[in-house]
Amino acid sequence: MPNDVTCHHFHDDKNCLCQVPIFNHLDTSELQKIINLVDSKSYKKNDFLYQPGDYTTALYVIRCGQVKIYRLSESSKEQVIRILKPGDFIGESSIFTNSVHESYAEILEDTDICIIEKDKLDDLMKKYPSIALKFLEEFSKRIEKTERQTTLIGSNSIDLRLAAYLINLYDRKHPKTPIKLTMTKKDLASYLGTTPETISRKLGKFEDSGYIRQISNKEILILDSEALELME
Amino acid sequence: MPNDVTCHHFHDDKNCLCQVPIFNHLDTSELQKIINLVDSKSYKKNDFLYQPGDYTTALYVIRCGQVKIYRLSESSKEQVIRILKPGDFIGESSIFTNSVHESYAEILEDTDICIIEKDKLDDLMKKYPSIALKFLEEFSKRIEKTERQTTLIGSNSIDLRLAAYLINLYDRKHPKTPIKLTMTKKDLASYLGTTPETISRKLGKFEDSGYIRQISNKEILILDSEALELME
DNA sequence: CGACGCTTTGACTATACTCAACCCGTGTGG
DNA sequence: CCACACGGGTTGAGTATAGTCAAAGCGTCG
């Protein structure tokens, strides 16, 4: 049962769960039943939700905060896989394959997480088979996304990877609004398969070329989205 | 209903379907019911099962042959995602998310494929909910595998990527048996995020160092697996 | 036999990594 | 409240790695 609601973004579990794609097709009363199955826990910055070798038996839904999923390569370099935001979930690799984790889930800032134990999730899926279908849909999307990431890293120059990343954050409805970098540049570098130094230099180059303006460490204004899109 | 069984590896659909992880927990009579739902089709080399933009409504199970799944990057380079072998399946991205394909599925050699239409698969999953669970397990594994691939490409030198690939094919139970390269070197280069020239040179280097011996174009004998594993 | 695609080799080049120094902002403790 | 330490970020110089382009070898298929 949820107890410590120190979270600023969501004031109850329902607000957290109803925006999870897996559950957002359910009606209020169904959602209420799920909420009763859910536990909640707070994590502090630098904690780990799990590490390689850990065996977890729950699905974790981010209520507020940020969690970094990364792997260590054969050469012990960190490869950021994704950053979890409120509404995102993780833990499925361990619960659906009954195997240990291969990646790290590190808490980036104080974070509240909803916990659904595997057996309760099994009951839920039995009761509402649509949930399993939603999982399948969600997993398919995640496979596509990871494949896109592989392609981005495997077949493109750093210029292009970075440009593609920026364009992806760009909202053409609001061209004057600077985009916000949620990762540190260090993590962004790892995500794009490069180094912080290179990121720094490329952003400088983009600025010199008039494609962007670096407002602050975490904010970038896109001046010429065309140029970024046509980058090769 | 299956008709043209020109395939050398499997002489009936059952042999094909029962080795698919999704179905291999079912008993003979259940399997028989599925076989009745299955259609079969032959494809010729250089055909495409689908291309980006196509919308397909079936799950495809490889009965015999090889299919290459690849994407084009922003800079129009081919990134090989995986090579499908007998028993592998594909098409889930389109049927579970109702969206068009982003990748190419190209037939590499004459290939027979079992086709299960989405609505029939839905019926199956309703009847045997264990199938949906098997899908979830399979998808979780595929996510892990793709994340491993991203990490391999994003954070390692080509030496290490290639060594890791070779080690992966190596069977330490039979150290004297040469490993077989199923992809062309061109495709292998794309899979590892590099160029055919570099693959050629690296293999030459490994041979000079005494780590491997290139028996033929498609066969490599591992002489020093330790060295390959410790590569950085 | 000829054509085509894959593979290899060579020479050159560019890209991005490494290492080191320094800057900056934040948070901690005296 | 200031000093300091720490981690992230930037800049510079030098270098290594792997990409490009071109040419030629090889194998297979029609």
The pLDDT tens digits of the residues spanning B18-56 come to 778 888 888 888 888 888 889 999 999 999 999 999 999
Confidence band, pLDDT 50/70/90 cuts, at residue A34: confident
Per-residue pLDDT band for A13 (boundaries 50, 70, 90) equals low
What residues of B are in contact with residue A81 (Cβ under 8 Å)? 147, 150-151
CA distance A7 to chain B (A): 30
CA closest to C1' of C25 belongs to A217
Q: Which residue type, as a one-letter code, is found at position B30? A: E
C-alpha distance from residue A171 to each of A19, A167, A174, A178, B223 (Å) = 21, 8, 6, 9, 54
Residue A23's pLDDT is 86
The rounded mean pLDDT for chain A is 91
The 10s digit of each residue's pLDDT in A119-148 is 999 999 988 889 999 999 999 999 999 999
- Strand C, nucleotides < 7 Å from a protein CB: these are 6-11, 15-20
User: Which of B56, B119, B155 should one mutate to test binding to chain A, selecting the residue with the greatest count of A CBs within 10 A?
Assistant: B155
Nearest CA in chain B to A79: B151
Q: Is B8's pLDDT higher than 70?
A: no
Predicted confidence at residue B12, as pLDDT, reads: 57
- Residue A194 CA distance to nucleotide C17 C1' (Å): 9
Among A71, A78, A154, select the one facing B79 at the smallest CB separation.
A154
Under CATH, which number does the domain B156-229 receive?
1.10.10.10
**For residue B167, which residues of chain A lie inside 8 Å, CB to CB?**
none
Measured CA to CA, the distance from residue A158 to residue A161 in angstroms comes to 5
Query: Tell me: the pLDDT tens digits for A45-98?
Result: 999 999 999 999 999 999 999 999 999 999 999 999 999 999 999 999 999 999
| A170-192 average pLDDT score | 95
For residue B103, the model assigns a pLDDT of 97
pLDDT level of residue A3 (50, 70, 90 thresholds) = very low
How many angstroms separate the CA of residue A74 from the nearest CA in chain B?
A: 7
- Closest partner residue to B153 (CB to CB) among A143, A144, A150 is A150
**Mean pLDDT in residue range A143-167:** 97
Mean pLDDT of B168-180: 94
pLDDT given at position A4 = 39
Q: How far is A215 from chain B (nearest CA, A)?
A: 27
The answer to whether strand C lies under 7 Å from the CB of residue A193 is yes
Decide if B140 and A193 are in contact by the 8 Å CB cutoff: no
Distance A44 CA to D6 C1' (A): 19
With b for 16 or more beta-carbon neighbours within 10 A and e for fewer, the A194-217 pattern comes to beeeebeebbeebeeeebbebeee
- Of A69, A62, A67, the closest CA to residue A112 belongs to A62
Residues 6+ positions from B181 with CB-CB distance below 8 Å:
B169, B188, B217, B218, B219, B220
Question: Among positive and negative, which fits the CA dihedral B152, B157, B162, B168?
Answer: negative
- The total number of residues written for chain A in this structure: 232
A193/B153 Cβ within 8 A: yes
Domain extent listing, chain B: 13-154, 156-229
B6 pLDDT higher than 90 = no
Query: With 60 as the cut, is the pLDDT of residue B4 above it?
Result: no
- Is B197 near strand C, with its CB below 7 A from some atom of it? yes
Residue B160 class from Cβ within 10 Å (0-12 exposed, 13-18 middle, 19+ buried)? middle
**Token pair of B201 as six digits:** 């040179």
Q: What is the pLDDT of residue A58?
A: 96
CATH of A156-230, one of 1.10.10.10, 3.40.640.10, 3.20.20.70, 1.10.1740.10: 1.10.10.10
Question: In Å, how far are A123, A204, B184 from A207, measured between CA atoms?
Answer: 54, 5, 42
CATH class of A13-154: mainly beta
pLDDT at B150: 98
Scanning every residue of chain B, which has its alpha carbon at the shortest distance from the alpha carbon of A232?
A: B75
What does the pLDDT read at residue A156? 94
pLDDT band, very low/low/confident/very high, at A14 (cuts 50, 70, 90): low
B29 touches strand C (CB under 7 A): no
* CA nearest to B195 within chain A: A155
Q: Please provide residue A190's backbone torsions phi and psi, each rounded to the nearest 5 degrees.
A: -65, -40
Selected residue with higher pLDDT from A7 and B53: B53
Q: What is the pLDDT of residue B226?
A: 95
Give A93's contacts in chain B (Cβ within 8 Å): 140, 143-144
Between A133 and B14, the higher pLDDT residue: A133
| Burial track B15-50 (b if 16+ CB lie within 10 A, e otherwise) | ebbbebebbeebeeebbeebbebbebbbbeeeeebb
Q: Do A143 and B148 touch (CB under 8 A)?
A: no
Would you state the pLDDT for residue A10?
45
Q: Which of A155, A156, A160, A229 to mutate to test the interface with B (most CBs of B within 10 A)?
A: A155
Contact at CB, A102 and B144, closer than 8 angstroms: yes
A79 beta carbon to strand C: under 7 Å:
no
Quick one: pLDDT at residue A15? 66
> Measuring CA to CA, how many Å separate B121 from each of B18, B60, B100?
16, 11, 19
Neighbours of A226 (CB within 10 A): 9
In the structure, what pLDDT confidence band is assigned to residue B15 with cuts at 50, 70 and 90?
Answer: low
Q: What is the dihedral of CA B225, B226, B228, B231, to 10 degrees?
A: 180
